Structure 1
Amino acid sequence: MRMYDLILKKRNGGTLTEDEITYMIDGYTREEIPDYQMAAMMMAIYFVGMNDRETLDLTQAMAASGDRLDLSAIPGIKVDKHSTGGVGDKTSMALGPMVAACGIPVAKMSGRGLGHTGGTIDKLESFPGFTTDLAEEQFIRQVRDIGIAIMGQTADLAPADKKLYALRDVTGTVDNLSLIASSIMSKKLAAGADAIVLDVKTGSGAFMKQEKDAKALAREMVSIGRRAGRAMVAVISDMDQPLGQAVGNALEVKEAISTLRGRGPEDFTELCLTLGSQMLVCGGKSSSPVEAREMLLEAVRSGRALEKLADLAEAQGGRREDVYHPEHLPQASIQEEIPAPASGYIRRILCDEVGMSSLILGGGREKKGDPVDLAVGFQIYKKAGDYVEKGEPLAVMHANDETKAAAARERFLNAYEIGCEQPEKRPLIVDIIKV
C-alpha cells in the first residue's frame, strides 16, 4: 500500500477502504507518512468529501492511535458532554456538579483554551491550588469516591487528531464536515464514555455561524457516535451573544457558583438544565427530560450540587471554602463601567468581538503557551433585546492594565449595535437531534 496511490484515489473521487484509512492514520502518527502527502490527502478530502462509512473509519482510526481511557471500573453509565465552544461558555463547571449530584458519574477530560478565554482547565485554576494533572488511576478512583473528576487531556489521547488538526490549520482544510466531526468524536470515543451529549453552538460567537451548518455537524457527530455504539444526543444552542453575563475565567467560575446556588442568569441556567436533562436520560437516571429537569432543580435547591463542586475543588487541590466564598477568587485591580453611547434597544451583540475584547485584556491566548490573566473580563448587564439609556452601563470591565483596558473598551463598544426597534428574540435552544 502506498500513500501516493491513496491520494490519487481520493482526488479522483474514489472511496477509501477501512484498511486504507487505518494505514494512512497509523503511518502518519508514526511519522512514516510525511506532512506534504497528508496535506495533499486532506485537500483531496476537502474537495471530494467522505461518505458516512469513511468518516466513521477515520474517527475510529484516530481514536485508536493512542491511549483509550477505560472507565469500566466506574459503576453506572458514564455520560460525557462536549461543547463546540463560545463566549462565556462555562457550562461544565455548573453542569458537571449538577449531574453528579443526581447520581451520574462525571469523568471528564477537558483542555486549555486557545482564543478569547481560557478553557475549562484554565477557569478551574481560578481556585488556588486546583490541579487537573491526575493519573488515570487517581482520576477513576476520584469518580468512584465523589462522583466527579476533571482531568487534563493527555498527550497520548488520539494523537493522530492533534497532528492532523495542526496540519489542517495551516493548509486551509479545517472547514470540512467529515474532518471536523471526526476530530471531535475521535477524542470523545477515546475518552471512554458510554453516552455523549453534544452542545453544538450556532451564531456569531460560534465556529458554525449558520444554523444549517451547526445542524449538519450535529447530525454527522450523532451518526458517528451511534454507529460506534454510543448513546448520542446533540443540542443546538444559540451563541449569537455571550452565554450568561460573565466573560472571563474567574468571573465565569463565580457565575457557575451563582448558578449552583439557584441565582444564575436565565439563559445559562436553561442551557445547563437542557443538557443535564439529556445526560440524566442517557444515563438511565430518569425516564424523561421533564422528570430529569426536576431532579436537577432539586439538586440545586437542596445545596447538593454546590456541595459537589466543593468536593471537586477539595479533591483536586483547591479549598472547598472558596466555593462558598467566591470573593476569594482572583479579582482585577481595575473595575470600570462601560456606559452606553446612545439610548435605544440592543439590536445585536457581535459575540466574537466581545470575546476579542476579553483576549485584549489578557483573558485568553493568542498562541499556545501564553499566560492567562484569570481575573480579567466583562460582567455584562445589557443583552440583545434590552432597552438602555445613554450613559447607562452596558457592562463592567475587569482589567489589570490601563493600556489594555483602553483598547478593550473601544472594541467592546464596537460589538454593540443600538437602534430604535426591539429585535426579535432568538431562541436559546434551537433544536435537539438524536438521529
Structure 2
Amino acid sequence: MKKRRMFSAILAGAVLAIGGLLVLQTIWFRSAYAVEEQQFDNKVNVAIRALTDDLLKAEGDSTSVIKPILKKATNAYYVDFKHALSYHVLDSLLRKNFVRHEVNLPFELTIYGMQPGSIVLGNYYSDGATSKNNATCGSRALPASTPMDFMITFPGKRADIVSGMKFWILSAIVFLVVLSLFAFLVIDLMKQKKLSEIKTDLMNNITHELQTPIANISIASEVLRTGAGRMDEQKSLHYANIIYEENRRLKFQVEQVLQAALFEKGQISLIKTEVDVHALVEEVIRNFQLRIQHRHGQLNCRLEAAKPVVLADAFHLANIFYSLLDNADKYSPDKPDIVITTTNTLSGILIAIADKGIGIRRDVQRYIFDKFYRAGTGNVHNVRGYGLGLTYVQKIVQAHQGKISLTSEPHQGSRFELYFETC
C-alpha cells in the first residue's frame, strides 16, 4: 500500500510538472508572438505617420495635424486623413516610407470617400512595398479636391509573424515530442503496474481454484477408501460423483489456462466436424446438473431450433457452454435459475444462456471479454476465477466466425447469446 501511494504521488508530481511546463511553453509562445506583433505594429505606425507628414508637405500644408492611426483589425490600419489625395503622390510616398522602415509584406490599399463605407479606390500590392507592377493602378484618377481617408491592410501579417518565430516553433515541437514520449512511458508504466497486479491476483486465484477441487477429491477419495466394504451403494455413488465433478472442474480450469497460453501464441487449432448443438448442450447439462442440484437450483432448456447442426469443434464448443454455465452458477448468489434456449435465424442458430444472478453494470460490460478482467460482484465475495473464461469464449466464437452478445442489468441477471451458421 505504501509503495502504491508513493508511485501515485510521483506520477501525480510528474504530471503536474509536465502540465506546468506546457502552460509555460504556451505563455512564452503567446508572449513571443505578442512582441513580434507589437514590433510590426510599431514599424507600420511609424511608416504611416511619416507617410501622412510627407503627404501634407507635398500639398503644402504644414499646419494640419492628422488624428492617430486606427487599428480596424489586427492587420488593418485606418488613417483619418480628411484631405485631398493624389494617387501618384500617395503611391510614391507609400512605397518610399515602407522601404525606409522595412515593411515588405504584401498589402492592400483602400481609399475612402467622406460618405460612410464609400470606397473610391482599392488596390492589392502583391510584392509589398518594392512592387513595380502597378501601372494599371496609376492610370486611375482620384476625385480632385475631395477629402478622403485611406486604409492599409496586410493579409499575410499573421503568417509572416509566425514564420519569423522558427526558434519558438522548433522548441514547441521538441517539447511536444518529449511530452508525447513521457505520456507513452507513463501509460506503459501504468500498464506494466496493472499487469503486475493482475499476475499477482491470477496466481492467488489459481492457487485457490486448484486447491479447492483437489481438496474435495482428496476428501471424497479418502472416505471411499476408508469406508470400502462398509458403505452403502448410494453413498458410494454420491462420493464418486463428487470426485467426477471436481475432476471435471479441475480439468476445465487447467484447460482455461492452457488455452489462454495457446491463444497468446496463436497456436490454437480447430478440428471442425458437423456437431448437433442440441446433443452437445444436453451432454453438458448432464455433467453440470449435479452442481446445480447441490445448490438446490434449476437448469432448464428449451431447444426449439429445427436445424441444430453446425460445423464446429465439438470440444471447444462444449467448453464454451460449460464456461457460460459456470459463470451463471457462480454469479447467482441464491439458488441458480438458468435457462438455455435455441432458435433458428435465417442462416444460423441462436443459442442463449440466461440466468437471474447479480447481473453486470452497463459501464463495465464492454470490458468483460478482456483478458484477466473480472467485473465487481458487489456483496458477493466468494466468487473466484481467473478472468479468462469469457475471453476464451469470445476467441472460440470468433474462430468459428460466430458472434456473441450480452444483455444484462444489475440484480436482474445476464443473457449471453451465441450465433453460429448452420450446415
- TM category, shorter: under 0.3
Calculate the TM-score normalised by the size of structure 1: 0.19
The structure with more helix, counted as a fraction of residues: 2
Higher relative contact order (CA 8 A, sep 6+): 1
User: Which of the two has higher C-alpha Rg?
Assistant: 2
What TM-score, normalized by structure 2, do the two folds share? 0.19
